[in-house]
């Protein structure tokens, strides 16, 4: 529960080094206040927020208050758990030296001057103080996992993993954040596989950049079989090393195929995420998988795996159903020349198909 609302001096507010949106590989040094501000200035589009603040100021009337916790307790210093982009923008609008140090555009100085001319000051920020991060987890989970301001997949996975690392079960987490068991398990597993990939020395940058593809790939039958992943129903907490030790080489190959390899100038075998289904079918076939690794030609490997058979059978069954219906209606038009011409075209097509699929024509 929130303790109270107050306005806090900007000097007492800190960007959160544990923010789930920060890249996992951000070093401890880069998570220090000055470096973290630099990271926000370079990574996030803060200028839009700056324009809004210069126009309207920053108060609960025009924007949400920051959500903070006192860390460490009794220090009179507060970590901003929700609202880091807003805090970074306020700091930059309030401090000309910081703007100069970070070599920001001249527009920042103009916006700061425009805000001052309207009487807006950014020396203090409206904030709601919570007793602990734990008190905020339910709100953050609902807002950013299932709610209106959803994080990117990698941030969701980090947040859920952090909750599970604190000793909660999957059931605890999904109920707490208003989600469902399956997405919580999927994010937890994806985070665990990602951590395992880093532990064996794989490059995490491409995974971070396209974590959604990684997350969705791990949910396909072919990838799960290839990596030897246990059914998600088997774990109730954060899984540890989900990929068995004898499949670590498969994990390396899977990530190589999924993202490519810069050093060896190998592209991803996927041109778009919709091809994950084909990729999954290939990995279920040893011969097709071997061909994919050798040629990196997904279409060719998919054909070797018998890809498209399911779709073809659906089309054939649908066609048969429609022909049965048409045959019933065609009886009363058996003398119609236009109907006969179309039936002739169907007969010719069926004979051609019979020849192609080596069906005896009786």
Query: How do residues 113-144 score in pLDDT, each as one tens digit?
Result: 999 999 999 999 999 999 988 888 888 988 89
More confident: 172 or 359:
172
- Examine the domain organization and report whether 211 and 242 are in the same domain: yes
- CA distances for 247 relative to 30, 64, 277, angstroms: 34, 48, 21
Picking from 9-13, 57-61, 203-207, 318-322, which range would have the lowest pLDDT averaged per residue? 57-61
Hey, is 8 helix, strand or coil?
strand
Separation of alpha carbons 306 and 318, rounded Å: 20
Q: What is the pLDDT of residue 329?
A: 75
Q: Are 288 and 296 in contact (CB under 8 A)?
A: no
Q: What is the pLDDT of residue 1?
A: 45
Q: Which residues contact 155 (CB under 8 A, 6 or more apart)?
A: 20, 21, 144
The continuous run of DSSP H or E covering 304 comes out as helix 298-304
- Examine the domain organization and report whether 108 and 204 are in the same domain: no
Q: Which residues contact 111 (CB under 8 A, 6 or more apart)?
A: 50, 51, 53, 54, 93
More confident: 316 or 243:
243
Q: What is the pLDDT of residue 11?
A: 94
| pLDDT (tens digit per residue) in 322-361 | 888 878 776 677 778 888 888 888 888 888 888 877 787 6
Q: What is the pLDDT of residue 337?
A: 84
The rounded percent of the chain whose pLDDT value lies above 90 is 63
Q: Compute CA 337 distance to the chain's CA centroid, rounded to the nearest angstrom.
A: 58
Q: Out of 131, 162, 187, pick the residue that ends a domain.
A: 131
Q: Out of 241, 268, 295, pick the residue that ends a domain.
A: 268
Q: What is the pLDDT of residue 346?
A: 86
Picking from 60-74, 85-99, 206-220, 243-257, which range would have the lowest pLDDT averaged per residue? 60-74
- Examine the domain organization and report whether 127 and 155 are in the same domain: no
Separation of alpha carbons 330 and 328, rounded Å: 6
Beta strands in the chain (DSSP E): 2-9, 13-15, 66-70, 78-82, 124-130
Domain residues for the domain of 347 are: 319-356
Separation of alpha carbons 83 and 183, rounded Å: 25
How many domains are contained in the chain? 3
Q: What is the pLDDT of residue 87?
A: 96
Is 159 part of any domain?
yes
- Examine the domain organization and report whether 78 and 106 are in the same domain: yes
**The pLDDT of residue 84 is above 90:** yes
- Examine the domain organization and report whether 207 and 237 are in the same domain: yes
Is 19 part of any domain?
yes
Hey, is 173 helix, strand or coil?
helix
Tell me, what DSSP letter sits at residue 261?
B
Separation of alpha carbons 142 and 179, rounded Å: 8
- Examine the domain organization and report whether 107 and 159 are in the same domain: no
Is 312 part of any domain?
no
Q: Is the dihedral of CA 271, 273, 277, 283 positive or negative?
A: positive
More confident: 69 or 146:
69
Torsion angles phi and psi, residue 95, rounded to 5: -125, 105
- Examine the domain organization and report whether 263 and 183 are in the same domain: yes
Q: 231 falls in which pLDDT band (50, 70, 90)?
A: very high
């Amino acid at each position: 529960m929130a303790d109270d609302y107050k306005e806090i001096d900007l000097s007492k507010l800190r960007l959160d080094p544990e923010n789930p949106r920060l890249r996992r590989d951000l070093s401890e040094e880069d998570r220090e206040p000055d470096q973290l501000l630099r990271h926000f200035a370079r990574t996030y589009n803060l200028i839009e927020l700056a324009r809004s603040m210069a126009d309207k100021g920053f108060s609960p009337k025009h924007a949400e208050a920051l959500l903070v916790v006192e860390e460490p307790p009794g220090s009179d210093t507060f970590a901003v758990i929700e609202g880091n982009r807003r805090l970074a923008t306020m700091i930059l609008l309030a401090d000309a030296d910081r703007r100069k140090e970070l070599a920001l555009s001249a527009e920042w100085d103009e916006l700061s001057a425009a805000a001052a001319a309207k009487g807006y000051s950014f020396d203090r920020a409206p904030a709601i103080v919570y007793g602990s991060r734990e008190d905020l987890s339910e709100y953050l989970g609902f807002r950013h996992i299932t709610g209106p301001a959803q994080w990117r997949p990698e941030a969701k996975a980090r947040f859920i993993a952090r909750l599970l690392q604190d000793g909660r079960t999957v059931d605890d987490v999904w109920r707490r954040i208003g989600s469902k068991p399956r997405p919580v398990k999927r994010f937890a597993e994806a985070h665990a596989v990602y951590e395992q990939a880093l532990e064996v020395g794989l490059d995490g940058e491409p995974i971070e950049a396209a974590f959604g593809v990684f997350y969705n790939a791990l949910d396909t039958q072919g990838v799960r079989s290839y990596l030897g992943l246990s059914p998600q129903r088997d774990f109730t907490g954060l899984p540890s090393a989900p990929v068995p030790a004898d499949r670590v080489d498969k994990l390396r190959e899977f990530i190589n195929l999924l993202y490519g390899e810069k050093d060896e100038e190998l592209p991803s075998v996927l041109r778009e995420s919709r091809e994950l289904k084909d990729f999954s079918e290939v990995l279920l076939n040893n011969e097709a998988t071997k061909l994919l690794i050798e040629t990196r030609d997904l279409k060719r490997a998919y054909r070797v795996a018998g890809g498209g058979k399911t779709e073809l059978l659906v089309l054939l069954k649908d066609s048969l159903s429609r022909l049965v219906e048409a045959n019933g209606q065609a009886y009363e038009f058996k003398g119609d020349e236009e109907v006969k011409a179309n039936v002739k075209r169907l007969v010719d097509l069926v004979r051609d198909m019979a020849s192609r699929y080596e069906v005896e024509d009786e």
